[in-house]
Amino acid sequence: MKSKFLIPLLAVIFTTAMSFTTARTAVDPDNDYIFRNGNWHMIPEVSCVSGASDCQVTVNPDGLDYTVYDSQSFGDAKPGTGESEGEVEL
């Protein structure tokens, strides 16, 4: 009787904790970010095509390509084809 209820209850507690810790609350759904000259810059949301590399965008007036991030964190790089998905003005 105890094990019948205990294991599912532990599973619920474990899953609740796991979902809370892995939730990406810092992700901004309306904007993306690039890291340029030691600072984070907000850019409009970029539609990245899924791929094995990082999503890139060309920044004007640099003309250089930068990796697109979903938040101001290097761990949130958006996956892409590795080629520029468009141009943005800063």
Partner 1 sequence: MGIRRFIIKILQVILGIIFLYAGLKKVWEGDLFYHTLLSTPYLESQVFAEWGSIGIPVVEILTGLFLLLFTRRMIGVLFSFGLMLLYTAYLVILLFFGDGIPCTCRTVLPFLGWYGHLYFTLSCLVLTLLLLRLRKI
Determine if 6 is a binding residue for partner 1 (CB under 8 A).
Answer: no
Q: Look at strands 53-54 and 56-60 and give their pairing.
A: unpaired
Determine if 82 is a binding residue for partner 1 (CB under 8 A).
Answer: no
First-to-final CA distance of the chain: 64
Instruction: Tell me the site size for partner 1, rule CB under 8 A.
Output: 29
Determine if 31 is a binding residue for partner 1 (CB under 8 A).
Answer: no
Give residues in contact with partner 1 (CB under 8 A): 7-9, 11-12, 14-16, 18-20, 22-25, 27, 29-30, 47-50, 52, 55, 70, 76, 78-80
